[in-house]
Amino acid sequence: MRFYVAITDDNWFAYLAAKQPDEINFWRPSGNKTFRVLSPGEPLLFKLHSPRNFIVGGGFFSSYNTVPLSLAWDAFGDKNGAPTFEKMRELIVRRRASQDDVSGEDFTIGCIMLQQPFFFKEDDWIPISTWKGPIVQGKPYNTDDFEGQSIWQTVQARLARPIPEFDESVEIATRRFGKPQLQLPRLGQGAFRIIVADSYQRRCALSSSHIMHILDAAHIRPYAEEGTHSPTNGLLLRQDVHTLFDRGYITVTPDYKIKVSKRIREEFNNGDEYYAWEGKPIHLPELEQLRPAREALIWHNERFKG
């Protein structure tokens, strides 16, 4: 099995270790690079900068996207490893290459989204001294090799220890480490927002609006009502459409057609824009596996105010 050891900023790690979040954005300061080292479910481990050559924690890879800085903050907030947007921007600008454009507030960054992160106490940090030469970002490993297997087994041993300070995410991670075939980890709200926005090409599924600041990743079945953060339970909606969708005045049929309740006109004496969408197909993600789940749409249709 593959895993990746990434060089990690000490302050970023310390901030998140104190927070113990359920997901994190392991951002890259430049948005002009790709990340194809891992598949969903495979682990990424944190190594501090030299001379502190220790593996100190990790998380499970869910997706990589390049997004505007503001979207990364809106999606993850302080799970980006900084207390404010201004502080996050400052950290990223300091680490961007000199030729990168930072003249606008919304320059693009890379987002390596990790689920179920775990953070070792300092006594459990794992020494790693085998790296040679200039390694700027990180290094891939495979458990088929002796070195990779040795690191992997040590991480497993750390996670398997009954340490009461660790939260449930580490117990989940321990079980996942033991599986020969990893599966996509359960997504958090931040990854859900970015993946849904990306799959709909950052335009409203109903109105086609491209103004990202007024678009929401909406749950078809609310998370509070046994919905999930799976992209198949999501639609990218303009904020007014999101409100009407949540309140049952607009729905999407299982064959992806728009239905608009007559009660909008009856109750609010308005709604011409929405009625123009009646019966039209929504804009769908290109990848079929990211399209809305039939079961979720049926659930929402049953609550439609027809």
258-298 pLDDT per residue, tens: 999 999 999 988 889 999 999 999 999 999 999 999 999 99
> Which pLDDT score, from 0 to 100, does residue 264 have?
94
- Are residue 147 and residue 115 in the same domain, yes or no? yes
Query: Does 249 share its domain with 130?
Result: no
Q: Tell me: the pLDDT tens digits for 137-186?
A: 889 999 999 988 999 899 999 887 543 333 333 343 444 444 433 445 67
Domain that holds residue 57: 2-177
Domain boundary among 143, 177, 211: 177
Domain-embedded: residue 193? no
What's the rounded Cα separation, in Å, for the pair 196 and 71? 12
Give kind and range of the element (H or E) at residue 192. helix 189-199
| Burial class of residue 8, CB neighbours in 10 A (0-12, 13-18, 19+) | buried
| pLDDT average, residue stretch 81-99 | 87
Interval 195-242: pLDDT, tens? 999 999 999 999 999 999 999 999 999 988 999 999 999 999 999 999
User: Are 60 and 118 part of one and the same domain?
Assistant: yes
From CA 55, how far away is CA 168, in angstroms rounded? Answer: 21
Do residues 208 and 147 share a domain?
A: no
- How many alpha carbons lie under 13 Å from residue 44 in its C-beta half-sphere? 29
Which residues, in sequence order, are bridge partners of residue 66?
A: 110
Residues 130 and 266 in one domain: no
Rounded CA-CA distance 128/101 in Å is: 35
- Helix axes 69-76 and 189-199, enclosed angle (nearest 10): 140
Q: Assess whether 220 and 160 both reside in one domain.
A: no
| Cα distance between residue 29 and residue 136, in whole Å | 13
Domain final residue, candidates 111, 143, 177: 177
Mean pLDDT over all residues of the chain? 87
- Per the structure, the count of domains in the chain is 2
Q: Examine residue 27 and state whether it is found in any structural domain, yes or no.
A: yes
Q: Is 14 a domain residue?
A: yes
Q: Does 108 lie in the same domain as 6?
A: yes
In CATH, what number is assigned to the domain containing residue 171? Answer: 2.30.130.30
Integer Cα distance of 230 and 193 in angstroms:
10
Task: Say if 125 falls within a structural domain.
Answer: yes
Residues in the chain: 306
Q: Which domain-ending residue is among 177, 208, 225?
A: 177
Whether 190 maps to a domain, the answer reads: no
Domain identity same for 62 and 152:
yes
Q: How far apart are CA 44 and CA 31, in angstroms?
A: 19
Strand 250-252 relative to strand 258-260, pairing:
antiparallel
Residue 191 belongs to some domain of the structure: no
In this structure, are 35 and 150 located in the same domain?
yes
CB atoms within 10 A of CB 272: 8
Residues 6+ apart with CB under 8 A from 52: 10
Per-residue exposure over 113-142, b if at least 16 CB sit within 10 Å of its own CB, e if not: bbbbbbbbeeebbbebeeeeeeeeebeebe
Residue 256 lies in a domain: yes
Residues 160 and 216 placed together within one structural domain of the fold: no
Task: Establish if 135 belongs to a structural domain.
Answer: yes
Residues 26 and 111 placed together within one structural domain of the fold: yes
pLDDT, tens digit (0-9, with 9 covering 90-100), for 64-87: 999 999 999 999 999 999 999 999
Kindly report, residue by residue over 10-48, the tens digit of the pLDDT. Answer: 999 999 999 999 999 999 998 777 888 998 889 999 999
Give pTM, 2 decimals. Answer: 0.83
Cα-trace Rg, the chain: 22
Same domain, 12 and 144: yes
